[in-house]
Structure 1
Amino acid sequence: MSAKTTIAAGARRWRPRDAGLTFKLTVPFAAVFLALAVLMATLLIAASRRQMVESLRLRSGILVQPLSVALSDPIVTRDRQRVQELLDEARKADPDVAYATVVDVQGVVLASTEQGQAGKTLSQDFDRAALAASALAQRDVPGRSGLFETVVPVSYAVLGKVGVLRVGVSTAGVDAATRRVALQAAIAAVVALALGATICAVATRRLVRPVRVAAERLRELASGAADLTRRLDVRSGDEFGRLAESFNLFMDGLASIIGNVRLTAGHVTGASQQLSGATSQLASGTQQQAASLEETAASLEQITAT
């Protein structure tokens, strides 16, 4: 099997539970932070959009009131040019106005900012429903998302209701502002996430350092190359600090045991050396006694021979 194949096989066997504590603590923090940031941003953006739409509806209501008053005289006199001028001015004054239309009580369009609408008679149910308006009303335009219509009756002092003003207001500006806010929130969330993850990773590395160092010391101890005089720094009173303190106590006890073993081994070595010396002396004495016995036996043989 080639080296690349071995590396690839090792990479496939990697599991999240095999990762270090820094990874295991930082990733959940980042995930929770990101989820909370997305949730809060979504809620804030939705609330902000609702507020902006309500403000837009209020502004459109304020716009149509004086416009309906100004339109009453031109409608009564059938001055369509003046009606058209007033509608064009209103549309230019507010960029959120999509269209403005004036309809008489018979449903005939007197003027409109939309091309080709002037002179037509309303036929759609939605359009003819505006003729029944007796006060300012706002409604969504079917089939046209991001658009609502403000309807207000146009009244003349003597004649009463002489027409209806319909102003379509687009929420495209609100949607664009919402997208900008969402983009800014996303950038802020990414920056905050990166900063928070960095702080969490650094803090986690500092917290788990005693565990990592203890693991290295135990690995050295298992390999037989450990320095029994080295100790871990106890920098806190939490679980990691107590772990470092317990490891140091373990190393102190192990060093004491090894010291006692060495001392006992020294005593045994000394006793062995003394025993070896005594044995040597005993052997020498035995040899001397044997020699004396041999001499005595030789003397006895000589005496016996004479």
Structure 2
Amino acid sequence: MLNKIFKWITRVSDAVNLEIKILGITVGFILVLGAGVTLEMRNIVQNLMLEELDKQGVSISRDLSARSADLVLTNQVFILHQLLNDTRKNNRNVRYAFVINHDGDVIAHTFADGVPTNLIYINTFTSEDNPNRRLINTGEGKIHDFAMPILGGKVGVVRIGLDQSNVIFSVQKITTTILQTTLLMSIIGILAAYILANVLYQPILRLVEATHKFSAGDYTQRVEVSSNDEFGNLGQAFNKMGETLAHKEKENKQLLAEIEKKEQVRKSLLKKVITAQEMERKRVSRELHDETGQLLSALMVQLQCIKQVGKQENFDQNVDNMRKVISRTIGEVKRISRQLRPSVLDDMGLIPAIERLVQEYQEFNHTDIDFIVHGHTFEKRLLAELEITIYRILQEALTNIFKYSKAENVSIIMNFKQDALQIIIEDDGIGFDVNEHYSSDTHDTHLGLHGMRERAELINGNFEIESKVGIGTTIYVSIPLVFEDQEEILL
């Protein structure tokens, strides 16, 4: 039974908000406490008043017994009647009083129509010194009947009846007063509970509203902190959490913008790579057709001339011409092959390939290039992916320098450390605004810097660039070293 009641209370409690819970608990506590106090006080007061009524009955019966002894012996019935009436008049709880002589006859009483017969024998004394009490139920209420012997019962018996209706009325009046006090306290308690509920509920309500706005993405919402208690600490912690979330949201938006920009650059790079691939194929096809094809056609003509001419001197001249054509063809094929992938990189390694690259750019562009290498004492070669990436970064850097910078002097420093390679590429060209370059849409047409950065990041390296207009540009590249006998680079 108690378990069912507890479950019902739990279901009801879960269905209402905190404010109603506090009001319900407070009102319920006051009502239960008031009812318990009222019942307990009623029982205590009623028992005390009934005890006082019994004491009063004992006292009155003894007094009447003492005062009526001489009157009964001298047969002064009138005075005895007057004594009984005065006793009833002076004690409002006395309902009746009468005296029975030793013969069992009623000689004086306070009844208007005579003493009821059944009342005479309903109570008798059992002790010569103390009255005998008996509770009588009547249609008008309960009567406490006392029988007190006169002179030990030798003369007669005094009987008095005390009505407890006054006691019940007094108890009801006291109960009503307690109930009124309980009701007043309930009203005060409800008011206090309402104030307390608002004091507790409003901060929680503000936190709930702010939480809903947080869930909607509004991290600027803050709660008002007006106290230094636990709710105040909770509000301060909530506001601090909001500041942290707002900061994180800002960082996430910046990261998202950077990712979107990088994705756009990647798409542009991919597009340019595909375009460059097709252009490279077209160039190779054109050079094979225009250069190598023509040389091979000239070789065919020379062979035809040898077939048609029979003189020795013309034969030797045609053979010499064929050798020259074949030599030019071989040189052209090597040039095309070297542009597609430098064979010196595969045959001799990174440093000789870069030296060859620097020499070619110097001869073609007539620019002074200083190439310095520090710390290169490794007997093992770097991973092939690493070497081609470093080569392409330097190739792209030199291409950009000669296309855009108008530099007269260029320096390349490669510093090999124990676990990393640091590359510094510096020129004294016209320079540019780095921030403007990365924040503008120039990456759609000038993807060289982005390509070098992407290549460096693909091998877990770092790429930084510094430039000022009119001063020049410096590129810093740091790449972790991985040798050919180690695991492949994790991309």
State the secondary structure of the residue aligned to 1:66. Answer: helix
Show the counterpart of 2:210. Answer: 217
Shift in CA distance, 192/35, structure 1 to aligned 2, threshold 3 Å: same
What is the CA-CA distance between 1:180 and the residue it aligns to? 1.0
What is the CA-CA distance between 1:222 and the residue it aligns to? 3.4
Show the counterpart of 1:181. Answer: 174
Q: Distance in 1 between matches of 2:442 and 2:64?
A: 128
Q: Is the 8 A contact 1:211 1:244 kept in 2?
A: no
Show the counterpart of 2:148. Answer: 152
Q: Is the 8 A contact 1:108 1:121 kept in 2?
A: no
Show the counterpart of 1:139. Answer: 133
Q: Is the 8 A contact 1:99 1:113 kept in 2?
A: yes
Q: Distance in 2 between matches of 1:121 and 1:252?
A: 96
Q: Is the 8 A contact 2:207 2:223 kept in 1?
A: no
Residue identity opposite 1:258 in structure 2: E
Q: Distance in 1 between matches of 2:237 and 2:81?
A: 89
What is the CA-CA distance between 1:138 and the residue it aligns to? 4.0
Name which of 25, 28, 32 aligns with 1:28: 25
What is the CA-CA distance between 1:123 and the residue it aligns to? 8.3
What is the CA-CA distance between 1:88 and the residue it aligns to? 0.8
Residue identity opposite 2:79 in structure 1: R
Q: Is the 8 A contact 1:72 1:154 kept in 2?
A: yes
Q: Is the 8 A contact 1:139 1:148 kept in 2?
A: yes
Q: Distance in 2 between matches of 1:146 and 1:191?
A: 34
Report the more deviating stretch, 140-149 or 46-55. Answer: 140-149
Is 2:241 the counterpart of 1:250? yes
Q: Deviations over 1:178-219 (max 9, x none)?
A: 111111100111111111222122112212322211111122
Q: TM-score, normalised by structure 2?
A: 0.48
Q: Distance in 2 between matches of 1:232 and 1:18?
A: 28
Is 2:33 the counterpart of 1:61? no
- The equivalences for 1:69-218 within 5 A come to 69-117=66-114, 125-127=121-123, 129-130=124-125, 132-144=126-138, 145-155=141-151, 161-218=154-211
Show the counterpart of 2:442. Answer: 277
Question: Which has the larger Rg?
Answer: 2
What is the CA-CA distance between 1:279 and the residue it aligns to? 2.3
Query: Could you say which structure has the higher helix fraction?
Result: 1
Q: Is the 8 A contact 1:68 1:153 kept in 2?
A: yes
Higher RCO (C-alpha under 8 Å, 6+ residues apart) = 1
Q: Distance in 1 between matches of 2:87 and 2:241?
A: 86
Is 2:231 the counterpart of 1:235? no
Q: Is the 8 A contact 2:99 2:159 kept in 1?
A: yes
State the secondary structure of the residue aligned to 1:117. Answer: coil
What is the CA-CA distance between 1:134 and the residue it aligns to? 1.5
Q: Deviations over 1:99-156 (max 9, x none)?
A: 00111122211121123335x87787524x34x5422324233333432012211229
Q: Is the 8 A contact 1:153 1:165 kept in 2?
A: yes
- The equivalences for 1:253-264 within 5 A come to 253-264=244-255
Report the more deviating stretch, 108-117 or 18-27. Answer: 108-117
Residue segments in structure 2 that go unaligned for 5+ positions in a row: 1-10, 265-437, 448-491
Q: Distance in 2 between matches of 1:204 and 1:253?
A: 31
Shift in CA distance, 87/54, structure 1 to aligned 2, threshold 3 Å: same
Residue identity opposite 2:19 in structure 1: T
Q: Is the 8 A contact 2:100 2:107 kept in 1?
A: yes
Q: TM-score, normalised by structure 1?
A: 0.74
Name which of 12, 15, 18 aligns with 1:18: 15
Number of aligned positions between the proteins: 261
What is the CA-CA distance between 1:256 and the residue it aligns to? 0.6
Residue segments in structure 1 that go unaligned for 5+ positions in a row: 1-13, 283-306
Shift in CA distance, 46/26, structure 1 to aligned 2, threshold 3 Å: same
Show the counterpart of 1:299. Answer: none
Shift in CA distance, 269/275, structure 1 to aligned 2, threshold 3 Å: farther
Q: Is the 8 A contact 1:210 1:243 kept in 2?
A: no
Q: Deviations over 1:245-287 (max 9, x none)?
A: 33223211210112213434565688867463242578xxxxx
